[in-house]
């Protein structure tokens, strides 16, 4: 048995403070070691756009270090950031920005870029919390308002459909426990799920059966160096540990406890997403249990009211007087009391917390309606016992109302659970365990053991058997096989994997055994990033939802007022004799008659459907998109994408395959072709530009006739140099937008476009110009080479178009979308490529930073503009566009800046993204019709507006059924999006396939 002492709160003896915050600053210091700078210096981070290769980052570093007062400057190319340490008395932030811009790039000073100097503040923590008990948009607004007003909370977003809240907060001001307490004080159920902190882990523990076991575990953790704080929850046997990652790793922590206890304690990492899924299942189970209990108790009520009057013997028993009431009245009262106050207790609790927080929601309406019906029935019984005048009771109305509401909530839980299937499926892709192997210096395996896949560390070598899932992103170090990557990329054809090939965690190894060296683990893996994107999208709110939130905030008070007016109007009309007494129920009066209409108005009006209309559709759409290789970052992205007028395509790597190849090499001036290629290859060996790689491969093949292989692509420039056939190069420099410059044997060599040679006074003869024009008009890029200030040759480089490019462009045009191409290439090549794919509007010779200006030029008339790109230099344009679409095979920076990520690197997904957005918002509009129709049409009917003429009225229990169906119909409408199928190009293009 687990100890009965509740949660055991433990802290390491090294902590000299009494703190219950699990996200405190690190034990050793409050800043990274690299951030320790002089008291008079300051550290900032700068976002830089326009860098394309290592030469660009070197240029920025050189420009920064040349500024007097800057003591340290480091530029990260992939992160597009610079880390700068400087003396504030000598340099200002603006001076740093100007230095970068003078170097030809765009710069932005990042606020709160981390710890600075001594005593720097810790970065904000983004935590996720499950919030139970929410029933409609009014609950969401209430919780968001409470969280945002907490001291230390910077941002709070709550999603009704997922029962999740995301809170950004300062851990030095408020802890996660304080946030949970605030949620619970508001009357809801709050539980912490996870945070973006890398120094916290939640472990499931087996082997703790008594308080003594818990004390042993406490002693082990207290004596573990690097453990800062921990809490053991005896109810679920979960251990929440905060540790210093600079002192101990998560795997060392787990191994230390298991080995130290001689296997007595077994620990495994709890996947936060799996924990969330279990909570979803628990909520559904609870609702089902309550519904079945209410239904079971309601059946006798129905039996006594409908069946028993036709069975004389049974009916006589119900009419037997027992004390002041009939036996049937006693049974009705007892059964309904259990339904009203035991099963229906949750409605009173929820209504109470809503009113306590100054808001109203569906629970208030249910509590009002059922209480009015129950209270009247009790009063009618007591009045009859005292006066002998027996009025009809409506106990069954309360029972039916609660039963139908619980049925609706159960169906909602089921439906909402289905909307998050995408995340559940993605979580299931991650294997629970992995085979960790250790090798000796000779490469022989000396140890092999099974570990939790969530404990894999970068650099680990993992053994992947045939038919098993690859546990982490990595590089193949031994073996060969085929891998099924369809669950991540959407491509059904298995991909060949050999040594040096990259693999994605969660994909399936089909045939041979592989040894994989882990490169990305945890939240850095592709699968985790996909889960994070899908989850973030499901947490986001589309702008159209603001309308629903506003309506929900005033909905319940308006309904209560309408119900009171209904009661007053019918009662006054009856008292004045405006309608005949034949309308009254048997033994009833005008008040009872008016009360039933009033209760029906209260019950049928439900704000739940309004609150669910948008988030459920967005959730389903993001899941469907993920299954089709299209990751959507939010509901606002969906809303903008369905109104796109222009789609701007980058050329290289987007419309083309980004597999540049040299197709022709022409020498001018009599130089030997081999010497010419050796000169050019030597100059390009220091460049990281894709064209440089193509030139090196062409020159290598010319000299040695070696075919390209999977491993040759990974061969570095230094390896080319070591092969002995390249010349020594000095003073190499990359010139963005123009080419490169270096010196060989003291003579300058220039490799680039016309602009580079013209700037350096190199004469371009008519023969050369004509040859270059001919290349450009055939969609090739001409690279000019000058040696010792004399033009010696031209290389023609072709980048083949993607096979689907032309068809996709035509498809977009058929959909009414205008395609545009933007490129830094010359006009002739750009026009030739555009003509080949069918694009009319071309913007050529655009510098990387200028692509964003092209986007803005199309936005001036209010048009919605989408940008499709893949490279670092596309990120400013992706961010500037209303809808940024990053090709999944592109850079992390481009993906970060985009609203959509096209995982399959297939342009057809641009059409899928736009089409899915249109279908989603059609469904959202339809949802609002469902949500409003019940209220707009049914409230007048419930209020008895048509009763005098048509004799139509809604009994309260029928009104309860309609109220439940309104929410269910909205959720089911959203679930129909799960049947979405990508549009066929043959249909879009109206092609008849014979």
Separation CA 594–CA 579 (nearest Å): 12
The stretches of 685-723 forming alpha helices (DSSP H) are 690-704, 717-722
**Alpha-carbon distance values, 279 to 131, 132, 615 (Å):** 10, 9, 19
The C-alpha angle 393, 399, 403, rounded to 5 degrees, equals 160
**Alpha-carbon distance values, 605 to 363, 810, 848, 967 (Å):** 11, 48, 55, 11
Question: What are the backbone dihedrals phi and psi of residue 226, each rounded to the nearest 5 degrees, phi first?
Answer: 100, -15
Separation CA 285–CA 288 (nearest Å): 5
Contacts of 694 (CB under 8 A, 6+ apart): 660, 661, 662, 797
Separation CA 933–CA 395 (nearest Å): 29
Separation CA 765–CA 336 (nearest Å): 99
User: What are 664's strand-pairing partners?
Assistant: 796
Separation CA 839–CA 500 (nearest Å): 38
Q: Are 519 and 458 in contact (CB under 8 A)?
A: yes
Q: Are 244 and 228 in contact (CB under 8 A)?
A: yes
Q: What is the DSSP pairing of strand 661-667 with strand 883-887?
A: unpaired
Query: Which among 461, 463, 498 is positioned nearest to 483, based on CA atoms?
Result: 498
Hey, which bits of 365-459 come out as E strands?
433-439, 445-452
The one catalytic residue in 650, 799, 882, 909 is 650
Structure tokens at 522: 């945890």
**Alpha-carbon distance values, 475 to 440, 497, 503, 706 (Å):** 19, 10, 6, 24
Separation CA 394–CA 370 (nearest Å): 10
Structure tokens at 159: 């999603």
- 728 catalytic per annotation: no
Question: What are the backbone dihedrals phi and psi of residue 742, each rounded to the nearest 5 degrees, phi first?
Answer: -160, 180
Q: Are 400 and 595 in contact (CB under 8 A)?
A: no
The stretches of 540-589 forming alpha helices (DSSP H) are 545-575
Report residue 501 CA to chain centroid gap: 28
Structure tokens at 205: 């523990």
Separation CA 798–CA 783 (nearest Å): 11
Q: Are 267 and 203 in contact (CB under 8 A)?
A: yes
Positions marked catalytic: 650
């Amino acid at each position: 048995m687990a100890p009965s002492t509740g949660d055991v709160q433990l802290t390491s003896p090294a902590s000299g403070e009494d703190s219950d915050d699990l996200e405190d600053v690190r034990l050793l210091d409050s800043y990274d070691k690299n951030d320790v700078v002089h008291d008079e210096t300051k550290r900032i981070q700068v976002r830089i756009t326009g860098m394309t290769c290592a030469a660009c980052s070197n240029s920025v570093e050189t420009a920064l270090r040349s500024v007097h007062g800057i003591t340290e400057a480091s530029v990260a190319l992939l992160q597009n950031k610079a880390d700068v340490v400087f003396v504030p008395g000598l340099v200002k932030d603006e001076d740093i920005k100007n230095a970068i811009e003078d170097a030809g790039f765009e710069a932005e000073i990042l606020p709160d870029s981390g710890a600075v100097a001594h005593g720097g503040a810790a970065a904000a923590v983004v935590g996720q919390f499950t919030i139970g008990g929410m029933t409609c948009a009014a609950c969401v607004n209430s919780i968001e308002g409470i969280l945002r007003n907490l001291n230390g909370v910077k941002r709070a977003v709550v999603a009704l459909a997922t029962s999740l809240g995301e809170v950004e907060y300062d851990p030095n001001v408020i802890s996660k426990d304080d946030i949970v307490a605030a949620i619970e004080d508001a009357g809801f159920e709050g539980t912490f799920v996870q945070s973006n902190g890398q120094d916290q882990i939640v472990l499931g523990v087996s082997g703790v059966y008594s308080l003594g076991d818990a004390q042993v575990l406490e002693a082990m953790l207290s004596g573990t160096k690097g453990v800062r704080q921990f809490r053991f929850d005896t109810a679920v046997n979960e251990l929440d540990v905060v540790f210093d990652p600079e002192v101990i790793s998560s795997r060392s922590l787990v191994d230390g406890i298991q080995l130290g206890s001689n296997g007595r304690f077994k620990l495994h990492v709890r996947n936060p997403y799996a924990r969330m899924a279990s909570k979803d299942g628990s909520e559904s189970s609870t609702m089902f249990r309550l519904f079945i209990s209410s239904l079971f108790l309601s059946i006798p009520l129905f039996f006594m009211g409908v069946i028993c009057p036709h069975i004389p013997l049974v009916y006589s028993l119900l009419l037997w007087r027992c004390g002041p009431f009939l036996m049937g009245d006693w049974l009705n009262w007892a059964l309904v009391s259990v339904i009203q106050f035991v099963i229906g207790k949750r409605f009173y609790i929820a209504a109470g917390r809503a009113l306590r927080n100054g808001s109203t929601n569906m629970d208030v309406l249910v509590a009002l309606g059922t209480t009015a019906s129950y209270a009247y029935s009790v009063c009618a019984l007591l009045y009859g016992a005292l006066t002998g005048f027996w009025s009809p009771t409506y106990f069954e109305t309360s029972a039916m109302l609660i039963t139908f509401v619980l049925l609706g909530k159960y169906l909602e839980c089921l439906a909402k659970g289905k909307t998050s299937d995408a995340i559940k499926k993605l979580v299931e892709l991650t294997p629970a365990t992995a085979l960790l192997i250790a090798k000796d210096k000779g490469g022989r395996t000396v140890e092999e053991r099974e570990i939790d896949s969530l404990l894999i560390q970068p650099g680990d070598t993992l053994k992947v058997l045939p038919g098993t899932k690859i546990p982490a992103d990595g590089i193949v170090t031994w073996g060969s096989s085929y891998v099924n990557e369809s669950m991540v990329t959407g491509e059904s054809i298995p991909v060949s994997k050999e040594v040096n090939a990259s693999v994605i965690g969660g994909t399936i190894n089909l045939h041979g055994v592989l040894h994989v060296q882990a490169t990305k683990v945890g939240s850095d893996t592709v699968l985790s990033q996909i889960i994070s994107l899908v989850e973030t999208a499901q947490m986001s709110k589309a702008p159209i939802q603001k309308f629903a939130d506003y309506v929900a905030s005033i909905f319940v008070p308006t309904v209560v007022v309408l119900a009171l007016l209904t009661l007053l109007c019918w009662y006054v009309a009856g008292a004045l004799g405006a309608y005949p007494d034949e309308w009254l129920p048997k033994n009833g009066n005008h008040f009872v008659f008016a009360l039933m209409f009033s209760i029906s108005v209260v019950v049928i009006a439900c704000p739940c459907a309004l609150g669910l209309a948008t988030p459920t559709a967005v959730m389903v759409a993001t899941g469907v998109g993920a299954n089709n290789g299209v990751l959507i970052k939010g509901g606002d992205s969906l809303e903008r994408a369905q109104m796109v007028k222009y789609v701007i395509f980058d050329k290289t790597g987007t419309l083309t395959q980004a597999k540049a190849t040299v197709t022709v090499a022409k020498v001018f001036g009599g130089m030997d072709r081999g010497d010419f290629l050796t000169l050019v290859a030597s100059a390009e060996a220091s460049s990281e530009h894709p064209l440089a790689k193509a030139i090196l491969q062409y020159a290598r093949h010319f000299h040695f006739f070696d075919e390209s292989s999977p491993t040759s692509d990974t061969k570095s420039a230094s390896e080319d140099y070591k092969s002995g056939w390249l010349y020594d190069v000095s003073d190499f420099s990359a010139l963005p937008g123009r080419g490169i410059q270096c010196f060989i044997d003291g003579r300058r060599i220039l490799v680039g476009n016309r602009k580079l040679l013209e700037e350096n006074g190199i004469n371009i003869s008519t023969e050369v110009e004509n040859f270059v024009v001919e290349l450009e008009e055939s969609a090739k890029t001409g690279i000019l080479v000058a040696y010792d200030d004399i033009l010696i040759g031209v290389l023609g480089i072709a980048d083949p178009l993607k096979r689907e490019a032309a068809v996709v462009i035509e498809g977009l045009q058929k959909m009414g979308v205008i395609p545009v191409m933007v490129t830094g290439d010359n006009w002739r090549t750009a026009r030739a490529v555009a003509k080949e794919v069918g694009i009319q509007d071309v913007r050529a010779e655009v510098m990387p930073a200028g692509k964003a200006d092209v986007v803005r030029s199309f936005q001036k008339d209010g048009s919605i503009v989408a940008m499709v790109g893949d490279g670092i230099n596309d990120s400013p344009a992706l961010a500037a566009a209303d809808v940024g679409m990053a090709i999944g095979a592109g850079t992390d920076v481009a993906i970060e800046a985009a609203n959509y990520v096209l995982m399959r690197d297939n342009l057809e997904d641009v059409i899928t993204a736009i089409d899915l957005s249109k279908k989603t918002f059609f469904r959202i509009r339809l949802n609002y019709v469902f949500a409003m129709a019940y209220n707009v049409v049914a409230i007048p009917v419930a209020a008895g507006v048509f009763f005098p003429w048509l004799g139509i009225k809604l009994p309260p229990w029928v009104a309860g059924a309609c109220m439940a169906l309104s929410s269910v119909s909205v959720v089911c409408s959203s679930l129909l999006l799960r049947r979405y199928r990508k549009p066929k190009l043959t249909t879009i293009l109206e092609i008849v396939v014979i």
